[in-house]
């Protein structure tokens, strides 16, 4: 009977752990991955980022040939001590929209690596992946 209970609960625990992992933020090797309304603090610092929303996504859909690759623009909230700032950042520098792929904040340089979901790709929760490095 005990083995049966263990087998019964194993899939439930696996499903629960998958749900938890998908909604969390992560930092490793100076890479941050944030889900919508999720906040992460840079290790050993007082600097945090929160991904609020994808403001615009005009990227060329997967498996389609486009004249222009398009752009995804995201809104981030940044925090360092008592300082807070809203920042719009994009998958590429695009002066007509006054957005760039990188920004500096609180002694760090952040660069967009990826914005998901990709148009026409697999359906998944919105997220933004950023690389960060300490400014010299």
Cα–Cα distances (Å) from 123 to 69, 75, 96, in that order, read: 20, 21, 29
Contact 71/60 with Cβ under 8 angstroms?
Answer: no
DSSP string, 2-26: HHHHHHHHHHHHHHHHHHHHHHS-E
Q: 117: cis peptide before it, omega within 30°? A: yes
Q: How deeply is 91 buried, as exposed, middle or buried, from its count of CB atoms within 10 A (0-12, 13-18, 19+)?
A: buried
Q: Residue 19 above 60 pLDDT?
A: no
Q: Which domains does the chain have, with CATH numbers?
A: 25-134 (2.60.98)
Q: Which residue has the higher pLDDT, 68 or 7?
A: 68
Average pLDDT rounded to a whole number, residues 78-98: 95
């Amino acid at each position: 009977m005990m083995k049966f209970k263990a087998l019964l609960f194993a899939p439930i625990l696996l499903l629960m752990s998958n749900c938890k992992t998908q909604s969390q933020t992560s930092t490793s090797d100076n890479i941050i991955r944030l889900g919508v309304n999720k906040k992460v603090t840079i290790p050993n610092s007082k600097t945090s980022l929160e991904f609020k929303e994808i403001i615009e996504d005009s990227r060329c859909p997967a498996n389609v040939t486009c004249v222009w690759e398009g752009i995804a623009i995201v809104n981030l909230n940044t925090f360092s001590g008592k300082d807070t700032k809203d920042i719009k950042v994009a998958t590429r520098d695009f002066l007509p929209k006054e957005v760039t792929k990188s920004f500096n904040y609180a002694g760090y340089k952040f660069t967009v690596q990826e914005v998901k979901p990709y148009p026409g790709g697999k359906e998944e929760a919105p997220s933004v992946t950023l690389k960060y490095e300490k400014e010299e």
